[in-house]
Amino acid sequence: MKVLFKIGSGLLRCIRQDLYRKHPYAHERVGFITAKAAALAGGGLCVTAYGYETVADDHYMDRPEVGAFVGAAGLRAALQHAYRAKCSMFHVHLHEHRGRPWFGEYDLSENAKFVPDFFNVAPATPHGAVILSHDAAAGLCWRAGSQEPQVISEVVEGGAPLRIFRGIKV
């Protein structure tokens, strides 16, 4: 099944600006993209990003062995936003390189632990994780009732020029 993730150039630029900011002790920043989803003809899914929730500085835990670790308060804030807005939430972070990014082993294992928690507060919408590089994006999407995420088939950056990043299989 095809999963399409659409995001506007302006929103993507704001997200990257936030993720490029230095943190007092975390090696990288993370955030949450808010989105709405709709069915595509033929059973696919179109997820359209419309907003971004930054993780507050004091919601990071000092864990030098990983790039960033969000504590319970940070996750709770994202869960509360999903509950109030009944929206999809996609965890997002940045890898500092050009070209197609992909999740590391730690990213994959942690995403599998906390992304399903969003179904407790917004069960009717898909949730997931997106990873950015300086010039590309990729992601994973969980649907209600599925144990395993699906690779996002295409990330479409709307704007001028229109850019499409194809998903990869791992």
The 10s digit of each residue's pLDDT in 126-150 is 999 999 999 999 999 999 888 899 9
Cα separation, 57 vs 93, in Å, equals 15
Nearest in space to 165 (alpha carbons), one of 115, 131, 142, 116: 131
**CATH hierarchy code of domain 3-166:** 3.40.140
Query: pTM for the complete prediction?
Result: 0.92
140: left (phi over 0), alpha (psi -120 to 50) or beta: beta
In the chain, where are the structural domains located? 3-166
Question: Picking from 12-16, 54-58, 60-64, 151-155, which range would have the lowest pLDDT averaged per residue?
Answer: 60-64
- Express each pLDDT in 55-107 by its tens digit: 999 998 888 788 888 989 999 999 999 999 999 999 999 998 999 999 999 99
